[in-house]
Amino acid sequence: MSQSLIDTAHALADAARAETLAHFRQRGLGADNKAAAGFDPVTEGDRAAEAAMRAILADRRPEDGIFGEEFGITEGSSGLTWVLDPIDGTRGFLSGTPTWGVLIAACEGTRPVYGIIDQPFIGERFEGGLGTARYSGPQGASALAARKGVSLSEAILFSTFPEVGSPREGALFHEVAARARLTRYGTDCYAYGLLALGHVDLVIEAGLQRYDVAGPIAVIEAAGGIVTNWTGGPADEGGRLIAAGSADLHAEALAVLSQVAETEGAA
């Protein structure tokens, strides 16, 4: 069963690579805006990649459920749900940067048991769960292992947007960032892969969806990292997320971020 899931996940990632690369850095690539306010783009690359993955699942595992960003929920009967984000980082995809990725997770209930973060253009794949914690890329393959023994003052911190959610969420994030050694922005799901590979120590974000987090949670936990929400509970369904390479570092950052609950309780 485990090998069947892993093989299926890789087939999905391979199909999504082909579809996304057919559109990436193509002149004239347009985008529709899914947001009522602001800009939340979706491209033909997003839709084509998810459609290709859904076709594979319909053939290989028709009893499983699917939760995809672009085409929603397909109910299943097996108890297993595939959570798919065909392009995490569509803004980067539109801009030609190679830091977007394809996110795939096999979940029992809401809990991710296996996940893939795939960067098609660079040819990097991070996978974790079901006894696997593996990276493969242009320089070969290696085991994933989150970095340990790093305090907050030594940490490299990533987030997608400097604003990080609401003004209160943003203020708490920047309080953590002020204590970190280095803070960088804009890499979307790629930062989670780098954390699992041992190059990034913290990723902190807010306003996430289930399809943004399921694959990264499986990969980071398999690499020995920890992922929770900002009060230390499960982050499986999105919202606020903190990913850390070690429990000690997680606790340091969480001591700041958990103040958001105190604020909400007083409101």
What pLDDT is recorded for position 1?
Answer: 64
Residues 6, 137 within the same domain: yes
Residues 134, 182 within the same domain: no
Residues 122, 164 within the same domain: no
pLDDT tens digits for 5-27? 999 999 999 999 999 999 999 98
Q: Which of 143, 163, 185 is the last residue of a domain?
A: 143
Distance CA 216, CA 223 (A): 11
Distance CA 60, CA 101 (A): 23
pLDDT at 265 > cutoff 60 = no
Residues 133, 182 within the same domain: no
Domain that holds residue 212: 152-266
* 40 band by pLDDT with thresholds 50, 70 and 90: confident
In the chain, what are the helix, strand and coil shares in percent, each to the nearest 5? 35, 30, 35
What pLDDT is recorded for position 267?
Answer: 36
Residues 241, 191 within the same domain: yes
pLDDT at 202 > cutoff 90 = yes
Structure tokens at 266: 């007083």
Q: Which of 110, 143, 176 is the last residue of a domain?
A: 143
* 231 band by pLDDT with thresholds 50, 70 and 90: very high
3-state secondary structure of 215: helix
Q: What is the CATH number of the domain that holds 132?
A: 3.30.540.10
Q: What is the CATH number of the domain that holds 232?
A: 3.40.190.80
Q: How many domains does the chain have?
A: 2
Q: Which of 102, 126, 143 is the last residue of a domain?
A: 143
User: Other C-beta atoms within 10 Å of 38: how many?
Assistant: 7
Among 130-134, 183-187, 261-265, where is mean pLDDT lowest? 261-265
